[in-house]
Amino acid sequence: RLVAGAMPLAGTVGEDYLRARGLPAPASPDLMFHPDLADFETKRGWPGLIALARFANGDRAPGIHRTFLLDDGSAKAPAGKKMLGSVADAAVRLFAIRDDGHLGVAEGIETALSAQHLFGTPVWAALSADGLARFRWPDGTTRITIYADAGDAGRQAAATLSDRLNRADIPNEIVLPLHGDDFNDDLMRGACAADYRAGQDVPAISEIAGAGALPVGDNAIEALVAAAEALTNPPDITGLGQLLGRIALARLDPLPARQILAQIKVATGIPMAILEKQLTELGRRVNAGGDPNVRIAKPAWFNRLRQDLAGTPERNEANVIIALTSDVAFAGVLAFDDFAQAIVVRQPLPWDGATGPFPRPWEDADEVRTAEWLQLRGVNVAPMVVGRAIGAVARDHRIHPVRDWLDHQRWDGIPRIETWTSTYLGAEPTAFHHTVGALWLISAVARIFRPGVKADHMLILEGPQGARKSTALKVL
């Protein structure tokens, strides 16, 4: 109802409010004006802004964001800003993303509008610090600039998002306001893009320099502490990146490593949480390949996984299904046999030998090996989770070997089913034998194509021991 009653910003007190803050009204259809936003706490309606948030795929989130304004638009009303419904994992698309894939993101709407006005980057609003940390970028994004708020919560959220972007191999930088809490404060004080040194507060992992020679033992710790003490605020990006790389290569115990990070924090003002996240990523690189400058290779599907705020893939069935349905190693390998009511392996799995026999049944050992395969690719799931996901993946490819065999048979035009009991079993060629023999074959095929179809009669074969009664049925 509120969205239906909203209108474009042009010519409204909503436009007056933005203009008073040095901001032109954007042409985005997702930021609108409403003349009467009800607020139950102040017990009246206020004019205000309505923002529609969208998920990474462009679909609208179920909730909206409201900014309550005074009647003349000179400032916010006492009601302030409020969400209505959920906007989790969504952002307000204030500007269209550029063809080069460069996108900016900020917490608040006015911060995003101010950052765009200052830097010319299309900026979206994540609506909160948590929303910024959880921001999900759209397909085609090649670079992201994070316009953080000045407080600890804003810096932490920016660092969390930066860490997730680094894991996704998307270049990014964090820009902090020069004055006050956010970029609108900077804009109102006459700041311009040239006044900023983009990314000065947090080093991008992609800019780490070579680690150089490193002393050993206590000398290594002393050398690293001395290097940390020599840093400045703001730090030299290359020097700080090099130092973090040296710490990762030193493989220090937790206590001396934290001591050095604490000294870096004192010297540069960068929060410990940010430094620890950077060092953790570098440690992963060193463990994987011995070089903090070389990114860990990830499968193409890795960036589609659901991740927690630290950028670690969640340990759930959804991520297992994404991996198994996207990786070429499992393409066409799994199926569900409707006849046997079992999961089957149709082609060699990564740990199978090239020779058969295939298809073969899916076994408990396969769940363990699949869990191992996923863990080596950064998805740390248990075999039990794999087992549940495998059932869903296999059922997307159902097979029925008997039905398939029957579908591919071609009749040569010679009648046989009425006389097969006398021709192949040696029964007397009576009308009864011919009738029950034909009906029994028909019911068997009917049960294959329509499981559970009514078939109440069974064929009984009578004869001496060794007459090969069981053999005849086995052949069928």
**Would you tell me how many other CB atoms lie within 10 Å of the CB of residue 428?**
9
* Rg of the chain on CA atoms, in Å: 33
Supply the pLDDT for residue 215.
52
For 229, the token pair is: 């003490």
The pLDDT confidence band at residue 208, using thresholds 50, 70 and 90, is very low
> What mean pLDDT comes out for the span 421-438?
94
Residue with tokens 């699949």: 370
Task: Please state the three-class secondary structure of 162-192 as a single string.
Answer: HHHHHHCCCCEEEECCCCCCCHHHHHHCCCC
DSSP string, 108-161: SHHHHHHHHHHH---EEE-SSHHHHHT--PPTT--EEEEE--SSHHHHHHHHHH
Higher pLDDT, 181 or 395: 395
Q: Under CATH, what is the fold of the domain 102-195?
A: Dna Topoisomerase Vi A Subunit; Chain: A, domain 2 (3.40.1360)
Give per-residue pLDDT as tens, 279-337.
988 888 888 778 887 777 778 898 889 988 777 899 999 999 999 999 988 988 999 99
Give per-residue pLDDT as tens, 36-53.
998 888 888 999 999 999
The pLDDT confidence band at residue 202, using thresholds 50, 70 and 90, is very low
How big is the CA angle at 452 (ends 448 and 453), to the nearest 5 degrees? 80
The amino acid that residue 142 corresponds to is T
Domain ranges within the chain, ordered by starting residue: 13-84, 102-195, 205-289, 304-401, 420-475
Q: Is the pLDDT of residue 454 over 60?
A: yes
The pLDDT confidence band at residue 441, using thresholds 50, 70 and 90, is very high
